[in-house]
Structure 1
Amino acid sequence: MEFNFDDSIFLTEKRCASQEKLTSYNAKICSPLWFEDAESDSDESKITQLKFSADYHYMVGRYDKARQKYQAILESLPPGGMCMRRDVLESLSRCHLNVGNKAEAVRVARQLFEQGTNEDHEIQGLSLLHHIYTKTEDFTEDLPILQRLVTFHPQYHLYWLHMGAVYQGLVARGDLSPACEADHHVKTFTCYLRAKLLLKFSQRTSGSFVKSNQLNLSEEITEVIEKMDFTLDEKDRAEKVRVKKFEKCTSVNKIKDILEAIQHFLQWCIHS
């Protein structure tokens, strides 16, 4: 028994009518930078025009003018425009950062994070905060942001690489107690080594182009590790620290054991 039907019997009159051939069509032609002087006939087209204009000025480096236009978009958006609002908030934060207004950039970025409704939104907000703190070398604020990002993607090598750079920056700042400095030094190596190992494991399933970039990055991590002063001086300084308030960092004996273990692990990782 055959069950062949003519598809036309399922088409409504409206759909059939829509298939009639067009007799003429006039394409809309836009001049370069049309959005700078075009007249808007509705709120929606006005927002679209402002978005094009803001993105253009951001692209060419006119961040203050782009900031004004992004702010105007936020004031015109309807309550339901979540996707557009998040895009504009991120762009606005980046404008503030590029003109040197860190405080306002952080405020807008935190607003973006707090308005998130799912995990992807949280990662977007945290990633923007990480970018701000990295560019302004605010290691103290950047560390907890990276720690939260790692909980979302523990196998992402760049988060571990960036966290290693943050711990290294905190050590280089020179205002830590000896015990905490030793602890941070250990964590620096741990993060760099984890980033290198994650890269090594991911190369097994990577394409040739991606693998080439990963190998280059792995070599750069190795060079960073080899250039670091890993002389275990932290052990001698840590042994002199007996103040109770520093005990929470890591015990002296534990630091010594970890440093010695990392020394052997480091040699294996570099030459493997």
Structure 2
Amino acid sequence: MEILGSTFDDSVFEESRNRASSVTVLPAYEPKSCEPEWFCHHEKFEDVLDEQKTMKFRADLKYRRKQYQVALDDYTTCLSLVPNENLSLKRDVLESIARCYSHLGLREQALKTCEKLRKEATNTCHLTCVLLLEVTIHDGCGDVRKSISSLQQLCSIHPFNPWHWLKLGMSYQSLRECSTCPENLKISLEPQALVQQWEEKNLARLKASMCFIRTRMLIDILMIQQFSFVLEKSKRALKEIEESLQRLQLDKNTLLTISEVMAEDLNPEKMREENQDGESLSGLAIKDFEERWWNKLHTCLLMEKTDLSDDKTLEFR
């Protein structure tokens, strides 16, 4: 007895059999193999794109080997071959050229190349790369003040990135230490110069503390979502921050005031609203660092100092 639907007509399978027999046999795939560092002795270029690719690979290898002058020559040749519409590669090569200049001690040329990158920047990611490059160049020359300026701009663009704040705090700490080194103290013998130096040192101390406290708050917020080596990095950073704050030796009231001011914009909704990653620079309003944080904090600290002075005057009377 046949069950309903259990038998099939042979014609159903005829089409699939015919299709299987007519399948074209494809040739075996043979991947192209290249010798290690093939581009070092590759001289016959098929077209401009082939030459551009070869020069880029050569330059990257020379840069990795710290042969910066040879790498610079190859990067320059590569740049001349990059079409104007290939903006990503052009920016990559220009950044590499700036780094070569920096390693060769040619700071002015490096900064001019940075300026080219800045003019062609169209979004916040481009501008962030330029600012990070400027920080590297300034740090390489030991110019802490210029490095601080670039880091302030980074913190203004990315106010919730703890690592920019940490780097800025460390730069202020370096500036404070430079102002108290014996070489600088010997030069400044006049009373007015000594007073100015003391004020700069105290200013750097407060700004360093401001940045460290801001970093600590941001890391505390982000640590909830962190695991593994990322979490370990955050824990190490917190330990370094605590040690740095202890060395700065600020009183509890000052630390409390700094914490209150720097925490005002740290809420999840505001942090999401002000996320500017990849935003176009046209029409983007970036608030000035001094105006957004330091001026307000400075006013609060002055008010606190005035209140303490008034209390002491009353007690004396």
Q: Do both proteins adopt the same fold according to a TM-score greater than 0.5, normalized to the shorter chain?
A: yes
The offset of 1:257, in angstroms, is 3.2
The offset of 1:79, in angstroms, is 1.5
Distance 2:303 2:59 in 1: 52
| 1:193-240 CA distance string (max 9 Å, x none) | 1111211221111123321221111111212222335489xxxxxxxx
Q: 1:254 aligns with which of 273, 282, 302?
A: 302
Q: 2:27 aligns with which of 23, 27, 49?
A: 23
Count of matched residue positions in the alignment of Structure 1 and Structure 2: 226
Taking a change above 3 Å as real, the CA distance of residues 85 and 123 of structure 1, as seen in their structure-2 partners, is same
| Aligned position for 1:183 | 203
C-alpha contact 2:102 2:137 (8 A) present in aligned 1? yes
| Aligned position for 2:79 | 74
The yes-or-no answer on 1:131 pairing with 2:136 is: yes
The offset of 1:20, in angstroms, is 4.9
The offset of 1:154, in angstroms, is 0.7
The offset of 1:134, in angstroms, is 2.3
Distance 1:33 1:106 in 2: 32
| Aligned position for 2:89 | 84
C-alpha contact 2:95 2:113 (8 A) present in aligned 1? yes
The yes-or-no answer on 1:207 pairing with 2:227 is: yes
Q: Please list, as runs of the form range in 1=range in 2, the aligned pairs for 1:84-103 lying within 5 A after superposition.
A: 84-103=89-108
Q: Secondary structure at the match of 2:160?
A: coil
Higher relative contact order (CA 8 A, sep 6+): 2
Distance 2:45 2:93 in 1: 20
Taking a change above 3 Å as real, the CA distance of residues 115 and 20 of structure 1, as seen in their structure-2 partners, is farther
The offset of 1:119, in angstroms, is 1.6
C-alpha contact 2:209 2:248 (8 A) present in aligned 1? no
Taking a change above 3 Å as real, the CA distance of residues 29 and 138 of structure 1, as seen in their structure-2 partners, is same
Taking a change above 3 Å as real, the CA distance of residues 31 and 83 of structure 1, as seen in their structure-2 partners, is same
Taking a change above 3 Å as real, the CA distance of residues 251 and 203 of structure 1, as seen in their structure-2 partners, is closer
Q: How high is the TM-score relative to the length of structure 2?
A: 0.65
Q: 1:150 aligns with which of 148, 151, 155?
A: 155
* Ranges in structure 2 where 5+ consecutive residues have no aligned partner: 1-22, 185-195, 253-294, 309-317
The offset of 1:67, in angstroms, is 0.7
The yes-or-no answer on 1:226 pairing with 2:246 is: yes
C-alpha contact 1:123 1:149 (8 A) present in aligned 2? yes
Q: 2:48 aligns with which of 43, 46, 49?
A: 43
| 1:58-88 CA distance string (max 9 Å, x none) | 1121111111100111112112121110000
Q: 1:216 aligns with which of 228, 232, 236?
A: 236
Amino acid across the alignment from 2:60? D
| Aligned position for 1:7 | none
| Aligned position for 2:10 | none
| Aligned position for 1:3 | none
| Aligned position for 1:108 | 113
Distance 2:299 2:159 in 1: 26
Amino acid across the alignment from 2:38? W
**Which of structure 1's runs of 4+ aligned residues deviate more than 6 A?**
none
Amino acid across the alignment from 1:157? P
Taking a change above 3 Å as real, the CA distance of residues 27 and 251 of structure 1, as seen in their structure-2 partners, is closer
Distance 1:49 1:185 in 2: 50
* Ranges in structure 1 where 5+ consecutive residues have no aligned partner: 1-18, 233-247, 261-272
Distance 1:101 1:179 in 2: 33
The yes-or-no answer on 1:167 pairing with 2:172 is: yes
Q: Secondary structure at the match of 1:92?
A: helix
Q: How high is the TM-score relative to the length of structure 1?
A: 0.75
Taking a change above 3 Å as real, the CA distance of residues 255 and 31 of structure 1, as seen in their structure-2 partners, is farther
Q: Secondary structure at the match of 1:47?
A: helix
C-alpha contact 1:164 1:191 (8 A) present in aligned 2? yes
| 1:75-120 CA distance string (max 9 Å, x none) | 1211212111000011111111122222222221221112111221
The CA RMSD measured in Å over matched residues stands at 2.7
Distance 1:133 1:257 in 2: 35
Query: Higher Cα Rg: structure 1 or 2?
Result: 2
Deviates more, 1:205-214 or 1:223-232: 223-232
